[in-house]
C-alpha cells in the first residue's frame, strides 16, 4: 500500500518508522511519504491559513496551497482514496479500517486551526471525481489531523497481509470478534476477553482456573462469556 500524508508538521509521522510499520516499509509492503504543506505556501510567512468568511474565532486552511500539494498526487493516481480527518466526519471504525486496508493508495490531508476550507473536499469529490472520506476518530476535538491520521494509518495498515507476524492475532480481537453462539446475541460485535500470561499467581491474583485446564471447549465458552460481559458494559 502507498500512503501520502499532507501536513504542516511532517515530524509528527516519524513514529511510523518504528516497530511493525517500520518493518512493513522495510519489507516493501508499505510506502509512506510525507509532504510539507508549507513548501506549497507563498509569501514571506509561508502562510497556509487565513481568517474565516463570516467572521469568528481562529483561522481556516486555504484551499490553494492544499491543492498545490495534492494535485500532483491525484493526477498521478486518480484511483487514490483521500482521507480528511475531521471531528465532523463519519466515525472511523474497525469495519472502515478493514475496508480501507484493501485500498492500494491512501492520501491523508491533515487539518489544523479551525479546519480546511470546505471547498477542498467538495472540489476533489465533485469536480476531480476522487473518492474523499471525511472521518472522525471520536467525539472530541484534537489540535490537528496528524494524531488522527497516525491512529487511522496504524489501524488500517496492521490489517495488510504480512504486516503482523501472526495473522491469527487479527481474528480474535475487539470489534472483530462476533458472537457465533446461535442464541439471541449471535452476530453482535464483541470486545476481546481478558488475557493472562505467566506467572500463574501475581501479587495474590490467580489466573482463572479454566485457562490452565487444557479443556479447549470450556476455554472457548469462558472467553465468549467474558467477551459478552465486557461488550455489555460498554453499552
Residues forming contacts to ligand SAM in the complex (CB under 6 A) are 85-88, 110-112, 114-115, 136-138, 140-145, 148
Q: CA-CA distance, 227 to 132, in Å (whole number)?
A: 35
Q: CA-CA distance, 21 to 167, in Å (whole number)?
A: 15
Q: How far apart are the first and last CA of the chain?
A: 35
CB 172 to ligand SAM: min, Å = 28
Q: Where are the alpha helices (DSSP H) in 59-157?
A: 63-76, 94-100, 119-122, 145-157
Q: Residue 175 or 230: which CB sits closer to ligand SAM?
A: 175
- The strand pairing partners of 4, in sequence order, are 33, 107
Q: Residue 22 or 144: which CB sits closer to ligand SAM?
A: 144
Q: Residue 24 or 145: which CB sits closer to ligand SAM?
A: 145
CB 220 to ligand SAM: min, Å = 36
Can you say whether residue 54 is alpha, beta or left, with left for phi > 0 and alpha for psi between -120 and 50 degrees?
Answer: left
Q: Residue 82 or 227: which CB sits closer to ligand SAM?
A: 82
CB 63 to ligand SAM: min, Å = 14
Q: CA-CA distance, 82 to 132, in Å (whole number)?
A: 5
CB 115 to ligand SAM: min, Å = 4
Q: Residue 112 or 228: which CB sits closer to ligand SAM?
A: 112
Residue with grid cell 468568511, as numbered in its chain:
53
Closest-approach residue to ligand SAM (CB): 111
CB 57 to ligand SAM: min, Å = 9
Amino acid at each position: 500500500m502507498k500512503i501520502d500524508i499532507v501536513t504542516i508538521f511532517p515530524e509528527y509521522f516519524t513514529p511510523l518508522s518504528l516497530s511493525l510499520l517500520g518493518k512493513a516499509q522495510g519489507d516493501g509492503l508499505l510506502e509512506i511519504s510525507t509532504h510539507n504543506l508549507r513548501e506549497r505556501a507563498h509569501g514571506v510567512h509561508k502562510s497556509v491559513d487565513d481568517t474565516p468568511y463570516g467572521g469568528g474565532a481562529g483561522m481556516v486552511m486555504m484551499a490553494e496551497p492544499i491543492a498545490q500539494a495534492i494535485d500532483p498526487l491525484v493526477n498521478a493516481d486518480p484511483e487514490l482514496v483521500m482521507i480528511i480527518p475531521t471531528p465532523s466526519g463519519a466515525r472511523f471504525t474497525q469495519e472502515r479500517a478493514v475496508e480501507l486496508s484493501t485500498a492500494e493508495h491512501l492520501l491523508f490531508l491533515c487539518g489544523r486551526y479551525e479546519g480546511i476550507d470546505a471547498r477542498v473536499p467538495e472540489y476533489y469529490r465533485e469536480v476531480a471525481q476522487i473518492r474523499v472520506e471525511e472521518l472522525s476518530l471520536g467525539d472530541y476535538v484534537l489540535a490537528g489531523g496528524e494524531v488522527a491520521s497516525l491512529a487511522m494509518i496504524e489501524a488500517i495498515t496492521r490489517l495488510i497481509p504480512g504486516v503482523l507476524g501472526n495473522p491469527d492475532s487479527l481474528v480474535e480481537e475487539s470489534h472483530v470478534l462476533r458472537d457465533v453462539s446461535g442464541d439471541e446475541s449471535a452476530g453482535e460485535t464483541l470486545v476481546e476477553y481478558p488475557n493472562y500470561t505467566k506467572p500463574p499467581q501475581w501479587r495474590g491474583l490467580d489466573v482463572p482456573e479454566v485457562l490452565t485446564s487444557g479443556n479447549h471447549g470450556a476455554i472457548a465458552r469462558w472467553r465468549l462469556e467474558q467477551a459478552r460481559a465486557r461488550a455489555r458494559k460498554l453499552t
